C-alpha cells in the first residue's frame, strides 16, 4: 500500500543552493530525497515542496509531501528522517494525507518574513538571519504605508527577477505587517503565490523608503507601472525565511507549523536612542 506523507520542515539555507534539485549542487529537496529513498528503497522518492526557496533563503515552516510504501509508521517518519539529516535541516512533523493532497497546489498561501537588524553595531547572533542596515534608523511608518498599498490582486512585474517561467506576474497579497522590536525590524508578506525574487526586490525598495532615499510616490509609481528597470536593489537572501504555508484543513499541529521562527517581541535596546533617556525596568 502506498501512503502520501506530508512533512513540515525547518532549514538553514546558508549551505544549500535553494530548495529545488540542481545538477551537481547541494539542495534541500535533493538531500531529503536521498535520505527518504534510503529509508524506503522499494521505489524512487520524489519530494514535492510548497515553495521553491532560493539559494541562501531559510525556512521555518516549509511543507512537502512524498509517496512511500515502506514499513515505517507515518508518525515515525519525522524521527527516522531526522536521524540521517545534517544539522541544518529538521523535520518537525510527519502526517498522513489524502492521495490527492498536494503540498504546492493545495496551498492557499505562503508567508515569508524578512528580518532587518537596524542596530548601529553588528550582532554576531543575528548576522546569519538578518540584513544589517545601520546607517539610518528605518522609518517603519513610511514602510507600513508602502506595504499596505500592495494588498489585493495586482501585477507585480516590477518585483520579478529574470528567469521566471510564470505566464503572468499577477498574484494576490493577502496580508502584510511590519514590526520593530528595538533594533530588529521584521517584514511579513503573505500571498497566494510569489514571483521569482519578489520578496527580496520588494524589501530592497522598502528599505530605501524607510531610509528616505526613495519617496512613497516614487515607490508606488515604480511597481504600479511595472518599471522593473528602476528596481535595482535586492535584499540579501539570508534575511528571508519561509515561515508558514496555509491550507484549507489543519494538516499539522499548530505549535510545529504556525510560526516557529525566533520571536523578537521581547523589549530590546534600541541603539539609535540615547540610552540615558531609557527607562530601566527592575
Residues designated as active site: 54
H or E element, residue 199: helix 198-210
The count of C-alpha atoms lying within 13 angstroms of the C-alpha of 123, restricted to the half-sphere facing its C-beta, is: 20
3-class DSSP state for residue 161?
coil
Q: What does the alpha-carbon distance between residue 182 and residue 126 come to, in Å, rounded to a whole number?
A: 13
3-class DSSP state for residue 275?
helix
Q: What is the 3-class SS of 17-41, one letter each residue?
A: CCCCCCCCCCCHHHHHHHHHHHHCC
279 by Cβ neighbours in 10 Å (0-12 / 13-18 / 19+) ranks as exposed
Instruction: Please count the helices (runs of H) and the strands (runs of E) in the chain.
Output: 6, 10
Please list the helix, strand and coil fractions of the chain in percent, rounded to the nearest 5, in that order. Answer: 25, 25, 50
CA angle 124/127/128 to nearest 5° reads 120
Amino acid at each position: 500500500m502506498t501512503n502520501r506523507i506530508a512533512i513540515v520542515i525547518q532549514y538553514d539555507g546558508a549551505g544549500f543552493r535553494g530548495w529545488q534539485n540542481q545538477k551537481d549542487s547541494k539542495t534541500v529537496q535533493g538531500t531529503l530525497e536521498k535520505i527518504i529513498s534510503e529509508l524506503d528503497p522499494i521505489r524512487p522518492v520524489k519530494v514535492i515542496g510548497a515553495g521553491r526557496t532560493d539559494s541562501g533563503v531559510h525556512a521555518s515552516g516549509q511543507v512537502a509531501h512524498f509517496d512511500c510504501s515502506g514499513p515505517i509508521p507515518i508518525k515515525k517518519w519525522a524521527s527516522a528522517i531526522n536521524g540521517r539529516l545534517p544539522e541544518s535541516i529538521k523535520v518537525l512533523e510527519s502526517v498522513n494525507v489524502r492521495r490527492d493532497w498536494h503540498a504546492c497546489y493545495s496551498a492557499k498561501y505562503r508567508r515569508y518574513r524578512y528580518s532587518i537588524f537596524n542596530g548601529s553595531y553588528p550582532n554576531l547572533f543575528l548576522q546569519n538571519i538578518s540584513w544589517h542596515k545601520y546607517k539610518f534608523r528605518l522609518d517603519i511608518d513610511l514602510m507600513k504605508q508602502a506595504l499596505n498599498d500592495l494588498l489585493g490582486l495586482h501585477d507585480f512585474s516590477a518585483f520579478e527577477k529574470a528567469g521566471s517561467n510564470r505566464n503572468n506576474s499577477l498574484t494576490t497579497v493577502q496580508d502584510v505587517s511590519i514590526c520593530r522590536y528595538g533594533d530588529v525590524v521584521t517584514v511579513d508578506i503573505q500571498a497566494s503565490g510569489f514571483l521569482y525574487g519578489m520578496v527580496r526586490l520588494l524589501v530592497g525598495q522598502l528599505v530605501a523608503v524607510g531610509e528616505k532615499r526613495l519617496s512613497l510616490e516614487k515607490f508606488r509609481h515604480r511597481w504600479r507601472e511595472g518599471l522593473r528597470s528602476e528596481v535595482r536593489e535586492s535584499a540579501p537572501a539570508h534575511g528571508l525565511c519561509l515561515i508558514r504555508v496555509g491550507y484549507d484543513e489543519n494538516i499539522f499541529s499548530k505549535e510545529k507549523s504556525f510560526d516557529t521562527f525566533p520571536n523578537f517581541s521581547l523589549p530590546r535596546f534600541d541603539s539609535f536612542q540615547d540610552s540615558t533617556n531609557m527607562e530601566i525596568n527592575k
